[in-house]
Structure 1
Amino acid sequence: MMAPEARFAVSFKNPDAVASIVAALRHVYGDEVARLMLVEGMSLSNLIDAMFSAPLAHREAVRSITDGLDDFIISPDLGLMWHLRYIYGDQPGSLHVVDMEIATPDGTLASKDVWLRLSS
């Protein structure tokens, strides 16, 4: 007989990135709200804020968001061609990411306009 937890196993493209995102959401919002955000959805802006508030190195937070996007259902549908753009801090030459946006052939979406839900 299969163990109960084995029946609910999900295969992710980037499991380490998803684990980092889940841990950050749990740290910032608690278990119940994090679960709700993953299942019901959240804006990319909310995810960015949570990741930057979690006890992670800033570049690790950015990397986890970038790598983890493949495991989320993104709304609105972006089609096949889209590009994640990083928005950097105000200092000249800054490599400190402060926000992200998604560029598509039809225009650019701000992080607050992109909705993410963990695929299952």
Structure 2
Amino acid sequence: MMASEACFAVSLKNPDAVASIVAALRHVYGDEIARLMLVEGMSLADLIDAMFSAPLSHREAVRDITDGLDDFVVSPNLGLMWHLRYIYADEPGSLHVVDMEIATPNGTLASKDVWLRLSS
């Protein structure tokens, strides 16, 4: 007789973006650390660094981060009104994103001050 296996299903809003994020974390940090970062949390800055280090185009990395945020628990609690801002490279007219920050009615949070954990 086989032991019953627990099967957990998580409903994701953007499964393709989350899959890309997971793959990037695994590529940069390995399986165990990536799992720990998803469960225990990571800064938005760490996620950005991993995505930019993964074998993705820069545009795909930015899109996947933006799309995937809906599937993460964000700390501190941002409330109902917030806006993701892109920080671009210093070259005039550059559309090369180098960082992100979150603007709220109460102020702006740098990517290193935003904590993300995959919702379960």
TM-score category, normalised to shorter length: over 0.9
- Secondary structure in structure 2 of the residue aligned to 1:109: strand
Q: Give the C-alpha shift of residue 4 in structure 1.
A: 3.7
Letter in 1 for 2:29: Y
Matched residue, 1:38: 38
Letter in 1 for 2:56: L
Higher helix share: 1
Distance in 2 between the 1:64 and 1:51 partners? 9
Matched residue, 1:25: 25
Matched residue, 1:78: 78
Correspondences of 1:41-80 after superposition (within 5 Å): 41-80=41-80
Matched residue, 2:11: 11
Structure 2 residue ranges without an equivalent (≥5): none
Q: Give the C-alpha shift of residue 100 in structure 1.
A: 0.0
Matched residue, 1:113: 113
Letter in 1 for 2:88: Y
* Structure 1: 4+ residue segments shifted above 6 A: none
Matched residue, 1:90: 90
Q: Equivalent pairs: percent with the same residue?
A: 86
Structure 1 residue ranges without an equivalent (≥5): none
- Secondary structure in structure 1 of the residue aligned to 2:27: helix
How does the TM-score come out when normalised to structure 2? 0.95
How does the TM-score come out when normalised to structure 1? 0.95
Letter in 1 for 2:73: I
Deviations 1:10-66 (A, max 9, x none): 110000000000000000000000000000000000000000000000000000000
Distance in 1 between the 2:89 and 2:79 partners? 29
- Secondary structure in structure 2 of the residue aligned to 1:8: coil
